[in-house]
């Protein structure tokens, strides 16, 4: 949450976890872990120069250093794009 509103952010997170528990009947932490694993990328594109041309070559993503922060960023970015503007 922005502007230091920690208590509001905590209420939103705990409320969302409780909603997950009610709708799925499963442990919300497990559901969250599955969602993050589904979001993690397996490949990334790196530039490789061959002769005078530059090619985009797919390479495996390093497991923890790159993929987890990328998944969190994608999740937050997706939420910000789909939310209506705050008034």
Which tens digit of pLDDT belongs to each residue from 7-51?
Answer: 888 898 899 899 999 999 999 989 888 887 887 777 888 899 988
Q: What is the mean pLDDT of residues 79-85?
A: 59
In a domain, 13, yes or no: no
In a domain, 46, yes or no: yes
In a domain, 87, yes or no: yes
- Note the pLDDT of residue 23: 93
Handedness of CA 75, 34, 12, 68 (dihedral sign): negative
Does the pTM of the predicted model rise above 0.75?
no
More confident residue, 69 or 24: 24
- Note the pLDDT of residue 37: 80
What residues make up the domain containing 77?
A: 42-87
- Note the pLDDT of residue 65: 65
Q: Number of helices (H) and strands (E) in the chain: give both, helices first.
A: 3, 2
User: Please, are residues 7 and 14 in contact by the beta-carbon 8 Å criterion?
Assistant: no
Domain tally for the chain?
Answer: 1
């Amino acid at each position: 949450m922005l502007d230091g509103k920690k208590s509001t952010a905590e209420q939103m997170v705990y409320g969302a976890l409780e909603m997950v528990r009610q709708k799925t009947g499963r442990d919300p932490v497990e559901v969250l872990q599955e969602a993050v694993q589904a979001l993690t990328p397996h490949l990334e594109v790196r530039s490789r120069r061959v002769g005078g041309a530059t090619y985009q070559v797919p390479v495996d993503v390093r497991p923890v250093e790159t993929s987890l922060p990328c998944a969190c960023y994608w999740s937050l970015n997706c939420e910000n794009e789909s939310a209506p503007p705050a008034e």
